[in-house]
Amino acid sequence: MWHPPIKLGSKVVNNNTRSQRLYSKYIIRKKNNLRKIFIKKRKNILINSYEYSELIANKLIRIIQSNNKLKMKKKLGVYWQLGSEVNTRPAIAALSEYGIKISILSSDTNNFKFRKWMPDQTIQKNKLGYKIEGPIMWSPNIIVCPILCFDKDCNRLGRGGGHYDRILKAYPNSIKIGLAYSQQLTEKVYTEKHDIVMDAILTEKEVYFSQNNLSGLDQ
């Protein structure tokens, strides 16, 4: 029986193509199992979801307002809640009043762009999320991501489409913040080379910071 090698990057994996393929399949299987569990678990949070979302929004606002580094970053790219994701609307409304430029992730076919948010703009739901009418914000320096599940090291698991991996890769210098409910915490999120660690993950109960956090968010 095959057992998973140490990790990607080890000599065992890099020097053995078969082991590398098997390890990749092993990680994908682990991720898919977690997705099945947490898609169901997140839907069960809906009873208290708006209350929890307001608590998470307050944490996001406090972090941005109290952190000296984040105070200088005035362009926020954020998602518009889809399904059982944490509701970002309380945070969007409040942060815009503090002078933060808000942009919403817009999906046009497979083309995702952050477009400027305005209170009265048209937001249309489509197969991939939402289409936003508005000018493109090219360089958001804080990006807020939805999360399906996460671990205490700020590894994030999404729905599996890879959209946020590509978005975060396009803005490597941005501060990356994930929003989740506390019930979405798991012991370990299995990662691959393309997966990007969050700088911080906020829940209604706790704030988690990455061990490799170079942004100084916990200062």
Please give the pLDDT value at position 182.
Answer: 93
Of the ranges 131-135, 147-151, 157-161, 184-188, which one carries the lowest mean pLDDT score? 157-161
At residue 146 the predicted structure's pLDDT band, cuts being 50, 70 and 90, is very high
Give 51-97 pLDDT, tens digit per residue.
899 999 999 999 988 887 776 778 999 999 988 899 999 999 899 88
In degrees rounded to 5, what are phi and psi of residue 105? -70, 120
Four-way CATH pick for 11-209: 3.40.50.1450, 3.40.50.720, 3.40.630.30, 3.40.50.10420: 3.40.50.10420
Of the given ranges (15-19, 118-122, 149-153), which has the lowest mean pLDDT? 15-19
Mean pLDDT, rounded, for 150-154: 95
Task: Give the tokens for residue 88.
Answer: 């970002």
Phi and psi angles of residue 107, each rounded to the nearest 5 degrees, phi first? -115, 120
Q: How confident is the model over 177-188, as a mean pLDDT?
A: 94
Question: What residues contact 51, with CB distance under 8 A and at least 6 apart?
Answer: 204
Percent of the chain with pLDDT over 90: 37
For helices 89-97 and 49-66, give the axis angle rounded to 10 degrees. 30
Q: Is the pLDDT of residue 167 over 50?
A: yes
